[in-house]
Structure 1
Amino acid sequence: MRKGGVFMNRLNGILPKWFLSVITVATVFLIPLAILLVNEWLVRDMLNMPVTEWIASFDKRFLLNYVIYLALFGVLYILPRKLYYTMSFLMTLVLLVFGIANRFKLELRSAPVTLDDFRLFREVTGFEFPVEINLGVLTAGVIFSVIVFALLLYMLPKKREWWGVKFIVCVASVLFFFVLWTDRPFSPAQYAGLQKTLWKLEVGMKNNGMLANFVVLAKESEVKPPKGYSEQAIEQVVKRYPVADSTSNNKPNVIYIMSESFIDPYTFGDQHFQKDPVPNFRKYSDESIHGTMYSSEFGGGTANVEFEALTGFSMQFMRPDYVPYQLFLHQPIPALPSLFTQEGYEATAIHGYFAWFYQRNAVYKNLGFHQYISGEFMDLEKPNTPGGAFPTDKHMTDAILETLKYTSSPDFIHAVSTEAHMPYGRQQESEFVKSDALTDEVRPYLNDYVDKVHEADRELGRLLEALESQEEETIVVFWGDHLPSFPNGNELYGPLGTDLAEDWNGDYQDFLTMHSVPYFVWSSKGSEPKQQNISPNFLPAIITELTGIEGNAITAIGQTVMEEGNERIPFAQWPDQEQPQTLAMEDLQLIQHDWLHGERYMEELVGEVAIQEDFHLGLYDSLEIIESTVTETNYEWVLQGAPKYTKVVVNGEPTESFGWQRLEPGLSKFTVPLDQLSKGDQIQFIVYNSRGGELMKSKTVELEK
C-alpha cells in the first residue's frame, strides 16, 4: 500500500506545465473539430454525401457547425481548469452519443434526432435502435476512458488561471447562442444558408450538418399557444361538447383510401377526352355521399392531409411549412384508429413505400394502429428504391383484401395509394386524351398523369367489386390528397393549357380551385346519394356518426362545425376573403394545441390515449418458420409472414443466392442451393429497410445436415 501510495504521489502533477497549454488548445479548438468530423462521418454514409463533399459544397454551413461545437465547449471554459477538462470530457461523450443516436434513427426512420426525442427519454423504445449494441464492449470502453482521463487529471500540474480570458470566451459563447437562437442582431443561419426541409428531415441534415440542423428543428418546434389557452379553457371546451355513447351494433368494416394526386381528369375539361379514364370513380361516387374536399395542400404534402383525415385536427392552425408527422407526433394523440380499436376493431395502416417515410412507422403507433403493412412487407414486382418509382395500387388492393380475410374482428383500414404519384413524364399518346388536345408542350404530361389515374381507378373498381360480393358491410371513404404537380405546371394549369387557374397564390378563387379534390363515402350495402363539401378533418366526425361508434371532443366539434353550415376551416392564407372562425373552430384549435404542443390537460380530463403495445410492421406479427426440408438440390423453408424480399441470412451475412415462391396469402417458400450452405450454418430470415435496419426477423436455426 505504501509503495503504491508513493508511486501515486510521484505521478501527482508530474506532467510539465506546457502540457496544460496543449490540452487547453485541444479542448478549445481541436476536440470540437474532431467530434464534428466524427459525427458527420457517422451519418453521411446514410445520406450519400461524404464529409469532404459536404465541406466543399457547403463551406459556410460547415463553419457554422464548427462554431456551434466551439461554443458548446466555450461555455464550459469559465470553470476551474480540472473541472473544465472533466466537463469537456463528458461533453465529448454526450456529443458522440448524440451522433450515434442520429445514425440509429436514420437507419430506422430516415430522420434525424429532434428536440422532441429528448422529451421522450422515459420511453425506452423512443429511438427503436435497429442494430444490436455490444454493451460489454461499450461499457469496457467507457470505463477505460474514464480511468485514463482520471489518471491524466491527476498527473496535471498546477498553474495560474487566466480568468479574464476564460470569462471572455464564456461570454462570447453565450452571446453566440443568443444570436443563433434569436437571429438578432443578425442571423447566422441565414448567413450560412441553412435550409428548412421540413418535408424531408434527412435532407436538412445532409445539407445543413448534424448540429446546425438540430438547431433549425429545435427552433421550429416552438409553437405559441392560441389566445386564451389554459387548463380552465380546456375544461370548458370539454363541457361544451359532450360525447354520445356508442350506438354501433352492426360494426361495418371501414376502409380509408387516400389516393395520391387523384382528381377527376374531367376537371381539366371533358372536351379534351375521347374516353372516360375513371369510370369506376364516377359510378361509385354518384351513388354515395360525395362532393369537394378542400385540401390544405397542392402538389405535395400528402402526410398533412392524412394527418387531418385521421385526427380531425386542422393544418389551418399551423404554419403552412409544418409537417406534424415529422415535428409533433412523438406521443400518442386521439385519432380515428384508436376510436375504432376501443370498439373492438382491428386497425391496419397500408402504404406501399418505405416504413420510415414521413416516420409513419412511429406515427402510426401513436395514432392507435395495430399494424402497418409497408412496402417492405409487400410482394412488390421490384424492391423500393429511394427516388425510384412508387409501387402500383395492385399491391394496396391485395393488402386490403388479405387483411379483411385474415383478421377475425371488424376492420378499420387506412390505405394510401401511390401509383399516381409524380413525377409525370412526356408520354406521347393516351387512349383517353384526344391527340389534338391542348399543345404539344402540355398534352404529353397530361397523357402520363391520366394513364396513372386510370390504373388507380381500375384498382378502385376491383376492390369495390370484391367488397360488394361479401356478406359483411364495408364503408369505403375515398379521396384525393391534392392536385398533381407537373414540371410545366404554370403552363398546364394556366391559360395556355387547361385554363384551370392562372394565379393560385395571388387569386382567391384560383387558390380554391387548386385546393379542391373529390371524395366519396360508399357502402357495400348501398347508401342514399348526397352532395356535401367538406375538409379532410371533418371525416372522423362523418365516420363516427355513420358507424355509431363513440367519438371524442374532436369529432363532436367537427360535427358542430358542419351543422353550422361550414364546408371547411377557413384557409389561414386568406383572412380577408374567408369567414372568421366560429367558437367551435377556436375550441378545436385549443384542443389541437393542447395535444400537440401544450400541457396535455386533456389527458387529465378524458384519460390517456390507448395505443397498441404490440404494434408491429406487416400483417403478421412475426416471421415463423413453419417447415424445413432438404431436396436433392436445395434446402427449403416455408415461412409465415415473410414477404418477397426477406433476406436469407447465413452466419450473420445476407445471401443473394436463394429463390422465393408465394404459396398462398401469408405463406412463402425460400430455397437455397445445397452447395451454398454447410452443416452447422446458422440460418435466419430478416426483413430489412433501405437503411439496413432490421424490421422483423425469425428465430435462428442450425443446419443439421
Structure 2
Amino acid sequence: MMTKKQKQQMKKILHYGICYIAVPFLLELVIESLSRKSVMGGILYFFDRPVLCLFNTLIIMLTVSVALFFKREVFVYTLVSAIWLIFGVVNFVTLHLRVTPFSAVDITLLESAISVSGHYLNIKNIIMIVIAIVVVFVSMSILYRKAPKHEHRTQKKLILSGIAVALLAGCIFFIRSKSNSVQALATNYTNISEAYENYGFVYCFTNSIIDTGISKPDNYSKESVDDVLNTLNVSTYTTDTGVRPNIIFIQLESFFDVDMVKDLELSKDAIPNFHKLQKSFSNGFLTVPTVGAGTVNTEFEMLTGMSQRDFGTSEYPYKTILRKTAAESICYDLKQLGYASHCVHNNEGTFYGRNKVFKNLGFDTFASMEYMNGLEDNPNGWKKDRVLTGEILKTLDSTQGPDFTLGLSVQSHGKYKGFSVEDAAIRVKKVPESGDKDSYQYYVNQLSEVDEMIGNLVNALEQRNEKTILVLYGDHLPSLDIKKTDLKDSNLYQTQYVIWDNLGLKKISKNLSAYQMYSYVLNKLGIHEGNITKFQQAMKKNTKTYHNDLKMLEYDMLYGEQYAYNGTKPYTETPLQMGTYPVTVTNVERNDRGYLVTGSNFTPYAHLLFNGDEVSTEWVDANHIQILETLEYDQDAANEQETASPAPTQETTSDADADQEEKQKEEEAIPNAFIVQIQTDGGTVLSDSEPLKWEDTSLGKETAK
C-alpha cells in the first residue's frame, strides 16, 4: 500500500503527464482537425503520418515546457497552449477566406490585413472577433492574478526541467535529421497548401518563423558566381532591334480563363476580349508561386526575374529583404536605356508596403487609388478596374521618352460569397461539385468587367501613335475552393498570359514561369541589360544547374558580397514620387463659401494643412478644394520667420524614410503656409505638396493692402 507521500508523487507525475504529454497531443489533434475542417480528417492524419504527427506534437511540447522555468507555471503553460489553439482557429478562418493557410509572415502583414478586412468580414464577424479578443484578454488577466505560483524554486526542479527540455529538443533534432518524411519539407514546399496538409500546421508554421531569406549556397564564392556568368551563352541573345517601345504589364487580380474549369457552364463567354487577343498574339500558361492569395509574390517574380521558391517558407520578399535592399528589376534594367518606370494600382498605396518597396525596385512614380479620381466600388467594395485605362495612358503622357508601366488591378479580388448579382450579364448554369453557384456568378461577372477594361485599353493603345507592348496576366487563381480535379490542366498554380503589340512581332505559344516573363519580353526587343535578365535569356529552364545557378545570383545580390558586381552594391533606391504627377498648390482666394484652394491633381484623399494643422475642407475637383472654416493669419509668426536665421543644413543620412519624415515635419512647421497632403483612409501620409505661403496667394495680396 502506497504511503501518502508516494500518492502525492504519483499524483504529481500524472499531472505533468497530462499537462506536458496528453494535452500537446490533444492540441495537435484539434489544430489538424481545424486545418482539414474535419475532426475525422485530423484523426486520419494521425494514422496516415504518425512520424509527422509525433514531430508536430513534440514542437508543441517543447514550447509549453518553457512554463517549467517560471514561477507562474500555470499561467505561462495556459498562455502558450492558448496561443497554439488561437493559431489553429486563425488558420481555420484564413482557409475559409483564401486558399493559402496561415503562416508567420501573415503576422507582419497585419496592417494590410486590417485594411482589407471590410471586404471579407461583416459587422457581425467583426463584433464576434472583438468579443473573442476581449474574452481571451480578460481571462488571461484573471488567470495571471488567480493562478498559483511557486514561491520557492528548488535547484533540483530547475535541473530536471532543463533535462526534460533538452531531451525534447534532442528528439526534435534527431527526427528532423533522420526522418525522410520530415526532411522532405526542406525541398518540397512550393505548394504551400499541400505542404501544410502533408507536414502539419505546427511544423510548417514554425518553419515559416525560422526559414526566411535565401540560404547560402554550399559552393558560394567569387569563383562560383563568375562561373555562372561565364557560362551564359551570349550567342542565344536576340539582336537589339533598336526599338524602344512603351512596355506595359497588367497584373490582373485573380484572373484566369474560366473555360479551364471542367464542369462550369456559363450563358456566354466571360472574357471575349482576352480570348480574341489569344487568337492573334503570343500567349501561354503562366506558372505562378501562389494560389488564392499572395498577389505580391507573383508581382515580385514578374518584376525581378527571381524565384520566390528560393526564399523561406511562404515568405513575402516585399515584407523582408526588399524593405531594406534594392534589387535588380525590369525598372532598373530599362532605366539604363532611358525608360521611366511607373505603377498604377486602384487600391491602397500602403498595401504590402508598396509605397516603400517600390523605391527598392527602381520605380519613378506610383499612383495608388489615393491619387485617382472617378473611382467606383463593386459590390464587395473593391475599386473597379475601368479607372486603370486612363491612369495607364496618363503615365505614357507624363514623359517624353519610353515608359515602363505596371498596372495592378483589384476588382475581381475575393471574397465572392454573399454577394448577389442583380440582372447579371452572365448567368452560371452549372458549377463543379465543390463550387458555390452564387460565388461563381459574382466572380465571372466581375471578370467580365475586367475584360471590358482590357478591350478599352487595347483600343486606346491602338489609337496612339506609339510603339507598345502590353502583357496581360493573372496573378493567381481565385479563392473559389477550386480543386486540381476541377481543372482541365489539373494545375492550381497556372494562369494565362497574352502579349499584345503593335510592332508586328511573331505569334508564339510558350509556357513560362512568372520569373521568366520580363526577360522573355525584353529578349523579343534585343534588350539584355542586367545579370538576372541575361541569365534568364541565356539559360534553359530544363538544364540541371538552372535553379542552383539562379539561386547563386539571387543570394549574391541580396545577401552576399555582390561578386557579380565587383563587390559594389549595384542598385540604390529611387526617389519615388507618389502620383504620376505631383500634387501642387498654386493659389488660395476668397469666395462666397469661404476660401477656395487652386492647384493640380487633387483627389478626395487630399487633406489641407494650414499653419501645420489640418483644416476642414471639401474636395471639389482635380484643381479645387473648398475650405470650410475661417483662417487666421499669424502676423507674429510671420515676423519671427522673417527675422529667424536660416536653419543649419543637415548632413545627408542613409535613412531615406527618416529624411523624408524630417523634411515633412519642417514643411508643416512653416507658419502661414498651405500644404495639401494625400492620405490613406487610415491616415498614413503618402505625400504632400510644396508649401505655399500666405504671402504668395491672393489672400496675401489682400493682407498687403
TM bin (shorter chain): 0.5 to 0.7
Q: How far apart, CA to CA, are the structure 2 residues paired with 1:64 and 1:700?
A: 59
1:235 equivalent in structure 2: 226
Q: How far apart, CA to CA, are the structure 2 residues paired with 1:226 and 1:344?
A: 35
2:547 equivalent in structure 1: 585
1:416 matched to 2:408:
yes
Q: How far apart, CA to CA, are the structure 2 residues paired with 1:477 and 1:416?
A: 12
Going from structure 1 to structure 2, the CA distance change for 1:383 and 1:180 (only over 3 Å counts) comes to farther
**1:157-168 equivalence runs, <5 A:** none
Deviation for aligned residue 1:269 = 4.6
1:461 equivalent in structure 2: 455
1:322 matched to 2:315:
yes
Going from structure 1 to structure 2, the CA distance change for 1:471 and 1:380 (only over 3 Å counts) comes to closer
Q: How far apart, CA to CA, are the structure 2 residues paired with 1:589 and 1:599?
A: 14
Structure 2 segments unaligned to the other structure (5+ residues): 1-61, 73-107, 115-153, 177-191, 193-205, 635-671
Which of 282, 286, 290 matches 1:289? Answer: 282
**Contact 1:260 1:481 (8 Å CA) reproduced:** yes
Q: How far apart, CA to CA, are the structure 2 residues paired with 1:643 and 1:177?
A: 60
**1:76-225 equivalence runs, <5 A:** 219-221=210-212, 223-225=214-216
Going from structure 1 to structure 2, the CA distance change for 1:468 and 1:326 (only over 3 Å counts) comes to same
Going from structure 1 to structure 2, the CA distance change for 1:423 and 1:383 (only over 3 Å counts) comes to closer
With 539-548 and 341-350 compared, the bigger mean Cα shift is at: 539-548
**Contact 2:585 2:692 (8 Å CA) reproduced:** no
Going from structure 1 to structure 2, the CA distance change for 1:183 and 1:604 (only over 3 Å counts) comes to farther
1:538 equivalent in structure 2: 516
1:686 matched to 2:677:
yes
**Contact 1:432 1:450 (8 Å CA) reproduced:** no
Give SS of 2:566's match: helix
1:695 equivalent in structure 2: 686
Q: How far apart, CA to CA, are the structure 2 residues paired with 1:291 and 1:245?
A: 21
1:598 equivalent in structure 2: 560
**1:394-405 equivalence runs, <5 A:** 394-405=386-397
Going from structure 1 to structure 2, the CA distance change for 1:237 and 1:436 (only over 3 Å counts) comes to closer
Deviation for aligned residue 1:334 = 1.1
Amino acid at match of 2:626: T
Deviation for aligned residue 1:460 = 0.9
**Contact 2:361 2:573 (8 Å CA) reproduced:** no
Q: How far apart, CA to CA, are the structure 2 residues paired with 1:270 and 1:278?
A: 17
Amino acid at match of 2:525: T
2:580 equivalent in structure 1: 619
1:36 equivalent in structure 2: none
Deviation for aligned residue 1:640 = 2.5
2:528 equivalent in structure 1: 550
**Contact 1:429 1:447 (8 Å CA) reproduced:** no
Deviation for aligned residue 1:180 = 11
Q: How far apart, CA to CA, are the structure 2 residues paired with 1:541 and 1:177?
A: 50
**Contact 2:212 2:312 (8 Å CA) reproduced:** no
Which of 606, 613, 633 matches 1:646? Answer: 606
Task: Describe the superposition over 1:492-521 as per-residue Cα deviations: whole angstroms up to 9, x where unpaired.
Answer: x76xxxx337xxxxxxx73x2x22211011
With 542-551 and 474-483 compared, the bigger mean Cα shift is at: 542-551
TM-score (norm 2): 0.61
Amino acid at match of 1:288: F
1:500 equivalent in structure 2: 487
1:27 equivalent in structure 2: none
Q: How far apart, CA to CA, are the structure 2 residues paired with 1:631 and 1:522?
A: 50
**Contact 1:370 1:612 (8 Å CA) reproduced:** no
Q: How far apart, CA to CA, are the structure 2 residues paired with 1:62 and 1:543?
A: 52
Going from structure 1 to structure 2, the CA distance change for 1:485 and 1:217 (only over 3 Å counts) comes to closer
Q: How far apart, CA to CA, are the structure 1 residues paired with 2:212 and 2:312?
A: 11
Amino acid at match of 2:255: F
**Contact 2:213 2:321 (8 Å CA) reproduced:** no
Q: How far apart, CA to CA, are the structure 2 residues paired with 1:222 and 1:182?
A: 27
Q: How far apart, CA to CA, are the structure 1 residues paired with 2:577 and 2:390?
A: 19
Deviation for aligned residue 1:591 = 0.9
Amino acid at match of 2:437: R
Deviation for aligned residue 1:586 = 2.2
Deviation for aligned residue 1:239 = 1.3
Amino acid at match of 2:612: G
**Contact 2:373 2:604 (8 Å CA) reproduced:** yes
Amino acid at match of 1:602: A
Deviation for aligned residue 1:431 = 4.4
Deviation for aligned residue 1:353 = 1.8
Deviation for aligned residue 1:658 = 1.9
2:147 equivalent in structure 1: none
2:383 equivalent in structure 1: 391
Going from structure 1 to structure 2, the CA distance change for 1:609 and 1:180 (only over 3 Å counts) comes to farther
1:677 matched to 2:631:
yes
Q: CA RMSD in A?
A: 4.4
With 409-418 and 220-229 compared, the bigger mean Cα shift is at: 220-229
Q: How far apart, CA to CA, are the structure 1 residues paired with 2:499 and 2:246?
A: 13
Q: How far apart, CA to CA, are the structure 2 residues paired with 1:63 and 1:671?
A: 62
Amino acid at match of 1:477: V
Task: Describe the superposition over 1:473-532 as per-residue Cα deviations: whole angstroms up to 9, x where unpaired.
Answer: 11001100111112x545xx76xxxx337xxxxxxx73x2x2221101110344332211
**Contact 1:332 1:366 (8 Å CA) reproduced:** yes
2:81 equivalent in structure 1: none
**Contact 1:619 1:641 (8 Å CA) reproduced:** no
Going from structure 1 to structure 2, the CA distance change for 1:659 and 1:176 (only over 3 Å counts) comes to farther
Deviation for aligned residue 1:256 = 0.5
TM-score (norm 1): 0.61
Deviation for aligned residue 1:462 = 0.8
With 348-357 and 422-431 compared, the bigger mean Cα shift is at: 422-431
Q: How far apart, CA to CA, are the structure 1 residues paired with 2:399 and 2:596?
A: 28
**Contact 2:253 2:412 (8 Å CA) reproduced:** yes
Deviation for aligned residue 1:650 = 3.7
Give SS of 1:290's match: strand
Task: Describe the superposition over 1:368-423 as per-residue Cα deviations: whole angstroms up to 9, x where unpaired.
Answer: 11121122222253799xx9732211222221111111221210011111111111
Deviation for aligned residue 1:435 = 5.3
Q: Percent identity?
A: 24
Going from structure 1 to structure 2, the CA distance change for 1:223 and 1:559 (only over 3 Å counts) comes to closer
Q: How far apart, CA to CA, are the structure 1 residues paired with 2:626 and 2:467?
A: 41
Which of 348, 359, 367 matches 1:373? Answer: 367
1:629 equivalent in structure 2: 589
Amino acid at match of 1:427: S
Give SS of 1:529's match: coil
Deviation for aligned residue 1:679 = 4.0
2:99 equivalent in structure 1: none
1:658 matched to 2:658:
no
Structure 1 segments unaligned to the other structure (5+ residues): 1-59, 71-104, 112-164, 188-198, 200-214, 502-508, 567-580, 663-667
Aligned length: 495
**Contact 1:285 1:520 (8 Å CA) reproduced:** yes
**Contact 1:338 1:611 (8 Å CA) reproduced:** no
Going from structure 1 to structure 2, the CA distance change for 1:279 and 1:600 (only over 3 Å counts) comes to same
Amino acid at match of 2:228: V
